[in-house]
């Protein structure tokens, strides 16, 4: 879907360029700039594809458990928060830091990666050792309070994932003029937000679509609808686990990459050594080694943070 968007932009740019050539040189220059921006955005978006997939896997768990009539409004609220993160916070911040203080970008990304590790480890701890007190606190909340808390948590997590997406995109176009960098990041922000939250909306409403299909007279369509109705609950449960693992993977990867840039290469070297060992198994084996190694590192780091914040006895 993302590549289709960028391809469409390329087509628009090409048509604009041909039309402008018949008018004047200024029009040709503007069309050429649009073409360059679309191409830069396509490169940047493709580089960030892995984090985009993780973002799509993480988000649905914030919607599970709410009434059907609140699912799409919640997704819309998170999507609006995501756009604000990207366009109002991260875009100007990334450009300013890249221009004035590029040395602080890596530590900031590492702090965000550590937060993702903490979030993933804490969610994993809660899944494996549920606490009655936490459950009772959740019951005590009103529906609106619970929704607001979940939306705030989703937007917080999105901020970290979006920061990684924007950083990857910025690194792809860092040699371009500042105006072209900004334009490419805007296209990436809009396209990726539409892709991620459009996919999330389809996922969370698939069971409702299944109910409607199951009522059709056509046997095959009705069977498909029943399959959606019965299959979505376990799929959403699986996706919730995937979201937790994705936070550990992405967070661990960010911290490992940052440590390597700051002169602590051994986690990076160990990870790439493991990837090199399984190269004979193909690209899937290499990907599993990278994801597994980054996730394990993220779990260990997250567990240390969780222990420091929750398991150390309060002396006060």
Using CA atoms, how far apart are residues 203 and 63, in angstroms rounded to an integer? 10
- CB atoms inside a 10 Å sphere around CB 161: 28
Rounded CA gap, 77 and 72, in Å? 9
The 10 Å CB-count burial string (b at 16+, else e) for 261-287 is eeeeeebbeebbeebeeeeeeeeeebe
Q: Where are the domains of the chain?
A: 48-311
**Interatomic CA distance for residues 26 and 249, integer angstroms:** 47
Give pLDDT tens digits along the chain (316 positions): 444 434 433 443 443 344 344 334 333 333 344 455 555 555 554 445 556 665 666 677 677 667 778 888 898 999 999 999 999 999 999 888 888 888 888 898 898 889 889 988 988 888 777 655 444 455 556 778 888 888 898 898 888 888 878 887 777 777 778 888 888 888 888 988 888 888 888 888 888 888 888 888 777 888 888 888 888 888 877 877 888 888 898 889 989 999 999 999 999 999 999 999 998 888 889 989 999 999 999 999 999 999 888 766 655 4
What pLDDT, on the 0 to 100 scale, is given for residue 294? 94
276 Cβ contact partners less than 8 Å away, ≥ 6 residues apart: none
Cα 191–Cα 194–Cα 197 angle in degrees, nearest 5 = 140
* Nearest-angstrom CA–CA distance, 268 and 257: 7
pLDDT at residue number 266:
95
**Number of Cβ atoms within 10 Å of the Cβ of 97:** 16
Shortest CA distance to 75 belongs to which of 224, 170, 199, 253?
Answer: 199
């Amino acid at each position: 879907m993302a590549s289709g968007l960028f391809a469409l932009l390329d087509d628009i740019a090409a048509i604009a360029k041909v039309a402008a050539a018949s008018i004047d040189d200024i029009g040709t220059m503007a069309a050429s700039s649009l073409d360059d921006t679309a191409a830069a955005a396509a490169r940047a978006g493709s580089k960030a594809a892995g984090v985009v997939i993780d973002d799509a896997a993480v988000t649905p768990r914030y919607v599970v458990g709410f009434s059907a009539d609140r699912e799409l409004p919640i997704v819309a609220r998170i999507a609006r928060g995501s756009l604000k993160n990207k366009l109002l916070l991260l875009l100007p911040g990334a450009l300013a830091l890249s221009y004035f203080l590029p040395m602080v970008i890596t530590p900031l990304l590492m702090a965000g990666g550590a937060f993702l590790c903490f979030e993933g480890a804490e969610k994993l701890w809660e899944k494996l050792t549920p606490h009655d007190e936490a459950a009772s606190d959740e019951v005590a909340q009103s529906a609106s309070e619970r929704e607001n808390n979940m939306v705030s948590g989703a937007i917080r997590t999105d901020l970290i994932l979006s920061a990684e997406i924007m950083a990857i995109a910025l690194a792809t176009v860092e040699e371009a003029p500042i105006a072209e960098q900004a334009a490419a990041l805007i296209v990436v922000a809009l396209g990726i937000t539409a892709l991620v939250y459009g996919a999330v909306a389809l996922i969370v409403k698939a069971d409702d679509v299944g109910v409607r299909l199951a009522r059709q007279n056509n046997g095959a369509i009705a069977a498909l609808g029943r399959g959606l109705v019965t299959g979505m609950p376990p799929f959403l449960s699986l996706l919730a686990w995937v979201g937790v693992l994705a936070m550990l993977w992405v967070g661990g990867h960010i911290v490992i990459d940052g440590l390597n840039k700051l002169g602590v290469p051994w986690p990076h070297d160990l990870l790439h050594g493991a990837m090199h060992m399984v190269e004979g198994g193909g690209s899937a084996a290499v990907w599993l080694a990278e994801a597994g190694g980054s996730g394990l590192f993220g779990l260990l780091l997250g567990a240390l943070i969780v222990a420091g914040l929750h398991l150390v006895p309060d002396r006060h």
